[in-house]
Structure 1
Amino acid sequence: MRAAIFTEPGGTPTLQEVEHTPLQGNEVLVRIAGVGICHTDLTGLNGNVPLPMPAVLGHEGAGVVEEVGSEVTHLAPGDHVVLTFDTCGDCAACNGGHPAYCVLSGPLNYFGTRLDGTTTMVQGGREIHGNWFGQSSWGTHAIASARNTVRVDKDAPLHLLGPLGCGLLTGAGTVMNVLRPQPGQSIGFWGIGTVGLAGLMAARAANCETIVAVDLSDDRLALARELGATHTFNPSSTKDVVWEILEATGGLDFTMEAVGLGSVVREALMSLRSPGVCATVGLQALDNDITIDQGHLLMGRTLTGVIEGDSDPHQLIPHLIDMWRDGRFPFDRLVTEYPLDRLEDALKDFHASKVIKPILIPSDSSH
């Protein structure tokens, strides 16, 4: 198998031959058909999370099961699957329907090894740290646990489905599971990338009457209008975007920001009517101080943080595919495909905001 290995913060991953270590009882080996690039991958590349190196990133993989461990009963070779974040399946959060807040989320998704300290990949005598979000799928194959492997119907476009495991799940899940707007209510989105547009499409599917999109890119705002936004604002071309939103809408019932900058969180919060709820989902770094107006918050407003859309992927991913079939969640419009060996080009285009959701296709994949 080949995997994109990087060895230092800020370094460029390079495709290299590696071997996977023997499957443990609850693991599966998946041949990757397509894998997305997500902003969280960039935090790993930049060294903003404690991932040991050399390492392999990638956490929006989709592919075909090739092998299963001895304890796996609900998956079989040949199954089409989407890989998502890993969980323990046993803690209070997992048992309570909130697996995104699993007590073992850190060790299972960010530490680069299995819980027993072993790695899923080696290169000769050198350990290669995988297990990024329980998969490390920037490569031709990935090892995942049965817990974070979601079986999907074989008639769906498998090579495009990987982002349903994170970026699309986060945006849509935040709207559908946390904010839960009712028909006729209003909502706004800051940051019109994969997460913001996934939330926007979910809001349209929920029949929100007023849908606001805020971004610095006029091209992305144009796409937001095509996908359901009723109002768009570019902060670079207005003196006070909050005032303009309040003037146009009277204040929003809900907002979601997918940037993570303190200034953006404040804009999204200040654009709420009272009462109202703002969800912050953008990640700049694990330590990220922001300031808000407590007096404004006291007037019945809520600021909440959301990881992975507070979703159960085994329920939400198949549902989003059904919505795609019905034309209510056209996520394929966000995608640009790249061969896996053009990872460096895909990363450059993603950094430069030339594309919304790059998907890497291994050369031995067919679709």
Structure 2
Amino acid sequence: MSITVTAAVAREPHADLVIEELQLDDLRHNEVRVRMVASGVCHTDAIVRDQVYPTPLPAVLGHEGAGIVEAVGDSVRTVEPGDHVLLAAAYCGHCARCRAGQMAYCENLFAADFGGRRPDGSTALSKDEEVISSHFFGQSSFSTYANVVEESVIKVDDDVPLEIMAPLGCGIQTGAGSILNQLKPGLNSSLVVIGTGAVGSGAIMAGRVAGCSRVIAVDIHPSRLDLARELGATDTINTRESDLTEEIMRLTGGVGADYVLDTTARPELLRQAADALALRGTLALVGAAKPGTEVSFEIGLSLVKGWTFTTIVQGSSVPQVFIPKLVELWKEGRFPIDKLVRSYALEDINQGFADSASGEVVKPVVAF
């Protein structure tokens, strides 16, 4: 049956979200109704709000949800009412990439995550006669309740603190997965992480889990660099004070970095990082840039280095497999994501966006 929910609605680019009452429609056969307990605020929410990516507005965003299952559609088999769940990105489940276990590279990713509609063109949310985009990343978790596609749902133990674990759904999973699933650095290798927000912090923690002997955190905010050291960074670089290429080379004894993960998508930083790679080094991009953004690399002297540039989506993760592993690392004290989180009430969600943008907070989490 349909119910009334309270949600934060993105109505105009570069404008605050508006707290409104909406109608959530009937549950479909492949959906799970989740009572939201918490939802992380992610940079991707901000760039979609501002229409860098074209989810139709008005929309309910939010894609790092956590909550308790209220009801399930008749084809759902992985969860049941009462289960505690985390929510991650949606994927179609039937394309060649999904069938190969590469859900992060789903051929229908934009439709599943950014389309704002079900495959039949319907939305789950409305206000009077106005249609509101739903199913953002399969969930639209900036709402007290959501009808979520089964592919976005990950069951967790009841004793897992949902308000702390919610950010695993996107940003932190992306950073950690980029290291542990994709780059897979060898023992005693060197890793540089550019940008120490939620994605970068996940990568730093994963670098230590992977056994990197040198983890270099790069940012412009001293407070974030201090936090990066708490999370496991062995060295820090403030690019307002130092040249990135020169500092990486100095810290690696002139050898260069084995791996660089960039979360900023700033072309000048990518170029400087490429110039500081070791022989056979890898530069990986996870930061989201405006479509059409280009980077130039030197290809003369660097040819003999045999280096690699790659892009990574969602940490190349299968969420139902990888996120429970991160929860276990947290339980073991090896993945302290609680150091990143600050809670906000739903009515204060715009302050969470502002604090994230200013660098004051690494991971705002809306607590319902």
Q: State the match for 1:19 in structure 2.
A: 23
Residue type of the alignment partner of 2:260? T
Q: Say if 2:270 is the partner of 1:292.
A: no
| Distance across 2 between alignment mates of 1:352 and 1:40 | 15
Per mean C-alpha deviation after superposition, the further-off stretch among 309-318 and 84-93 is: 84-93
Shift in Å at residue 294 of structure 1? 2.3
Shift in Å at residue 144 of structure 1? 0.9
Q: State the match for 1:152 in structure 2.
A: 156
Q: State the match for 2:165 in structure 1.
A: 161
Q: State the match for 1:222 in structure 2.
A: 226
Residue type of the alignment partner of 1:337? S
Q: State the match for 1:241 in structure 2.
A: 244
Q: State the match for 1:365 in structure 2.
A: none
What are the Cα deviations for residues 82-103 of structure 1, in whole angstroms up to 9, with x where unaligned? 1111111111111112101101
**What's the % identity of the aligned pairs?**
39
Count of aligned residue pairs for this structure pair:
361
What are the within-5 Å matches in structure 2 for residues 1-367 of structure 1? 1-238=5-242, 240-249=243-252, 250-295=255-300, 297-298=302-303, 299-362=305-368
What are the Cα deviations for residues 328-347 of structure 1, in whole angstroms up to 9, with x where unaligned? 10011000101111112112
In 2 relative to 1, CA 291–167 (structure 1 residues): closer, same or farther, beyond 3 Å? same
| 8 Å contact from structure 2 (residues 7, 142) kept in 1 | yes
In 2 relative to 1, CA 211–343 (structure 1 residues): closer, same or farther, beyond 3 Å? same
Per mean C-alpha deviation after superposition, the further-off stretch among 264-273 and 252-261 is: 264-273
Q: TM-score, normalised by structure 1?
A: 0.96
What are the Cα deviations for residues 44-85 of structure 1, in whole angstroms up to 9, with x where unaligned? 111111111211110010000111111112211111111111
In 2 relative to 1, CA 296–129 (structure 1 residues): closer, same or farther, beyond 3 Å? farther
| Distance across 1 between alignment mates of 2:158 and 2:83 | 8
Shift in Å at residue 295 of structure 1? 2.8
| Distance across 2 between alignment mates of 1:344 and 1:65 | 27
Give the secondary-structure state (helix, strand or coil) at the position aligned to 1:232: strand
In 2 relative to 1, CA 4–296 (structure 1 residues): closer, same or farther, beyond 3 Å? farther
Give the secondary-structure state (helix, strand or coil) at the position aligned to 2:300: helix
| 8 Å contact from structure 1 (residues 270, 296) kept in 2 | no
Shift in Å at residue 297 of structure 1? 4.8
| Distance across 1 between alignment mates of 2:241 and 2:77 | 56
Shift in Å at residue 296 of structure 1? 5.2
| Distance across 2 between alignment mates of 1:207 and 1:120 | 45
Residue type of the alignment partner of 1:300? G
| Distance across 2 between alignment mates of 1:270 and 1:95 | 37
What are the Cα deviations for residues 229-281 of structure 1, in whole angstroms up to 9, with x where unaligned? 1111111112x221121122021111100000101211222221011111100
Give the secondary-structure state (helix, strand or coil) at the position aligned to 1:52: coil
| Distance across 1 between alignment mates of 2:149 and 2:338 | 27
Per mean C-alpha deviation after superposition, the further-off stretch among 305-314 and 157-166 is: 157-166
| Distance across 2 between alignment mates of 1:296 and 1:62 | 49
Q: TM-score, normalised by structure 2?
A: 0.96
| 8 Å contact from structure 2 (residues 267, 294) kept in 1 | yes
| Distance across 2 between alignment mates of 1:286 and 1:297 | 27
Structure 1 runs (4+) deviating above 6 angstroms are none
Give the secondary-structure state (helix, strand or coil) at the position aligned to 2:338: helix
